[in-house]
Amino acid sequence: MVELKGLRKVFGRLEVLRGIDMSVDKGQILSLIGPSGSGKSTLLRSVNLLETPTGGEVWLDGTRVNADLKGLAYERHVNGLRREMQMVFQQFNLFPHLTVMQNLTIGPMKLLGLSKAEAEARGEELLCKVGLAEKALAYPARLSGGQKQRVAIARALAMRPKVMLFDEVTSALDPELVDEVNAVMKDLAAEHITMLIVTHEMRFAAEVTDWAVFMDEGMVVEEGPPDRLFSDPEHPRTRSFLRKHL
């Protein structure tokens, strides 16, 4: 579903991604771990073109993401792809002036052409799924961090994306709110939604994901099934990272 071939990203003289090869199969859940500054967010941002890759290839379901297009054609291409890859951030990025339901319906109405009734039906279903049916009319400011993040996940799902990208979605939350967000992600995992998850929670990664990739200094150091990678890492850098984070 997602494939990276030799992905490179340079900021000025800083080489942040130094030739990343990675693939996520349809229905697979991949966790990406690594020290702060190793390039995890830049990788996710390059996948959905919030950053333009300096080199290499990004593919989504058989379409070249970083296509060589210009002007309007490029814009159309990017907008189309962003619908298919929804990203959830550490800072929820909900629209503060819209209710929870409006946050969920605006994308499907404006970008997918759903009617208000259709979008609201979809919104209600998703709010039930994340346990927030009673918050449809609330404004984001009235929600806890965990609730906001669950709305953000529901909003992303409302677009029925091919892939969900998660960037440390629980790291801004108070510890007691982490589990409710992880529970929602576990439910998604059970539905085999294709997901690429950047996380610093090894226990969650081990429990929920099919494949773990350890990155350091812009390169993939080691990868494998999470139980194997976490219990028996081969590379000294993976070992040293896990010693600090397990």
Is residue 209 part of the contact set for Mg ion (CB under 5 A)? no
Please identify, among the stretches 36-44, 71-79, 145-153, 154-162, the one whose residues bind ligand ADP according to the rule CB under 6 A: 36-44
HEC states along the chain? Answer: CEEEEEEEEEECCEEEEEEEEEEECCCCEEEEECCCCCCHHHHHHHHCCCCCCCEEEEEECCEECCCCCCHHHHHHHHHHHHHHEEEECCCCCCCCCCCHHHHHHHHHHHHHCCCHHHHHHHHHHHHHHCCCHHHCCCCHHHCCHHHHHHHHHHHHHCCCCCEEEEECCCCCCCHHHHHHHHHHHHHHHHCCCCEEEECCCHHHHHHHCCEEEEEECCEEEEEECHHHHHHCCCCHHHHHHHHHHC
Stretch that binds ligand ADP, among 31-39, 58-66, 73-81, 82-90 (CB under 6 A): 31-39
Kindly indicate which of the ranges 8-16, 56-64, 112-120, 139-147 contains the residues binding ligand ADP, using the contact rule CB under 6 A: 8-16
Contact call for residue 41 and Mg ion (CB under 5 A): yes
Name which of 89 and 139 has its Cβ closer to ligand ADP: 89
42 binds, among ligand ADP, Mg ion, none (CB under 5 to 8 A by kind): ligand ADP
With respect to ligand ADP, which residue has the nearer C-beta, 28 or 41? 41
- Residue from the set 1, 22, 30, 42 that interacts with ligand ADP by CB under 6 A: 42
